[in-house]
Each structure stands twice: as C-alpha cells, then as structure tokens.
Structure 1
C-alpha cells in the first residue's frame, strides 16, 4: 500500500520485538548482535552472534532485567549475556538455580556453604 502511494520502502530495517504491554522484550537483535534491553529499550548488554554464538543462542536477559527491579543490596550474579549464573550465593550459602533464578533443588547436592562453592555441580 505504501509503495502504491509513492513511498520508498527500506526492507533492511528490523522492528523491535515488543511484550504484550507494549514495552520492549528483553532480547532484541540485529544482524550482528543479540542485545539485552530494559522495558524502555535502553541497552543493558550486547553479545556478538558470530563470535559468541553459544552465549547469544542461550541469551534470555532474565538476570539483568531482575536486577533492575530488585531494591536490596544483595542482587543476583549475571552472566555476560544477561542470564543468571547457574550458581547464586546469598548470606553465606550457594545454590544451583534455573534460568529464572529459582533454586533447582533442596538437597546438599545443590546447596552448600559459600566456602564450598566450587563443589557445586549445576
């Protein structure tokens, strides 16, 4: 329709992905990078899709987004791509967590004292 009205169309432009409430989705991408953004679209971090394909493919930005709204001093540890680190430590105890930051299990296999952090197999 625009073309019929005399407008030149640029097909290389990629529109941002939006959540149902109209805000930006956490993960945006262009031809070279995957990008974590806040709800207003401000860049939080970016990962090169070619140089760091594994990191980019797994990118969900859940940790970075959570850190924006957490008001306490103890915030979760995020990976380079904005995801939760699989081991989270708080108040002297370390636990295995999933991609939403929730503890994976409640046994000694996935919860240890911070000094024994290296023994966790997450």
Structure 2
C-alpha cells in the first residue's frame, strides 16, 4: 500500500506540471543574485524554463537522488565531469581508464542525458563488459544485433529482440569479423543468425558438435559430406 501511495504521489507531481506556452506569462520571476548563489546561475533553469535559477553543484560522492525524480524542478546538479549514477544515486566521475573505453563513455553520456531528462523515451543504453568495452549483443528498438568490442556493427547478424533469449553472445560473428579483417582466407565459420556458433562446426573436411562458444562437444566426428546427418 505504501509503495502504491508513493507511486501515486510521483505520478501526480509529474502530471501537475503543465508547461504550456502560456505558463511563463503567469510567472513573475525573482532576480537571482549571482554573488549570493552558492553554485551557478542557470539561465531559464527554473520551473518550465521560465526563470533563472541558482543551481547548487554537487561534488563526487554527493547524493543526487532529487535529480532523478520525475516532474521536480532541479535546484542541484552534479559538477562538471560528473554525472548522477542511477544505480547509487550519487555523483560519479567518468574519468578513469575503464570509463574512457568506447562503451563506458557512451553509457556515461546516456546516463547523464537521462538524469537531465528522466522522461526521455527511446534512448537505448549500451551493454558493456566489466572492462568498459561493448558486449557482443546490443539493442536498437525491437532489434538485437552484433557488434565488435569497440561498438562497430557486424553486418548480417540481427534478430528480433524477443528471439535473443539469454544466450546471444555473437562470439562466432565477432571471430569471423576479426578473421576477415586480417585478409586471410581458408577458415570457415558456421554461425547462427544471432551471431553465436552453430551447433555443428567443421574444420577442414571434419565436422563435429560444438557449443555456442565454438568449443567441440564430445568426440564424435563425421566427414563434411555427412554434416547434415549429425544430430547435435
């Protein structure tokens, strides 16, 4: 019951703020004294962008929960070089070796934008590895697709979002892409449409069962001309 009431209050607060074109005509702005403002004076930073506002800057580690509230005019913001981390509700620096990697850099930018515009729809967060590089599978609307570790899209590997399950890793697509970049020829890759290794793989004229990472399963093998008879 308490959770429902809190949710209802948030919804009511968001709906109560109607920033119509005529709204600012009814607002009388008070002057903001830059000398007494313990922060920065933000032009049109008040309710609905009608008036200037004194914005307090938060340091790294400071709580920034209010930034995430829907429909609440902001009187605080994380200082330059920081963003409000929605996981910890604290201002966090994005300047580190990990966070300078492509995926982590984009994720920080998306989080900062969502913190500034919580009701923004359609902005997709990238999926990153622990080291800040891109995971093999990424989303765009209703589609899931494969990318390299630096975020380059790999053509030919895209499926519906609801078809990914929990095992789409794009490992085969990635290794095939990397091999083709070397200019070498001769190695064959057997990938599913989602970029994973197919259940049957071949090396030269010998075929075998394999897992989604391309590792051989069991010891049974057949000639490549018998590949279609395998039950993996």
Instruction: Give the TM-score band, short-chain normalised.
Output: 0.7 to 0.9
CA offsets per residue over residues 53-83 of structure 1, 9 Å max, x none? Answer: 44x2242211011213335530321111111
- Which residue, 42, 45, 48 being the options, matches 2:160? 48
Distance 1:8 1:106 in 2: 55
Which sections of structure 1, spanning at least 5 residues, go unmatched?
none
CA offsets per residue over residues 7-35 of structure 1, 9 Å max, x none? Answer: 44443222101112211111112330111
**Greater RCO between the two (CA within 8 Å, min separation 6)?**
1
User: Hey, what does 1:63 align to over in structure 2?
Assistant: 172
Does 2:197 align with 1:87? Answer: no
Distance 1:81 1:35 in 2: 7
TM norm structure 2: 0.44
Is contact 2:209-2:218 (8 Å) kept?
Answer: yes
User: Hey, what does 2:225 align to over in structure 1?
Assistant: 115
Distance 2:230 2:117 in 1: 57
Distance 2:120 2:146 in 1: 24
Between Structure 1 and Structure 2, whose CA radius of gyration is higher?
Answer: 2
Q: Over the residues paired in the alignment, what is the CA RMSD in angstroms?
A: 2.2
Matched pairs, number = 115
Is contact 2:143-2:158 (8 Å) kept?
Answer: yes
Higher helix share: 2
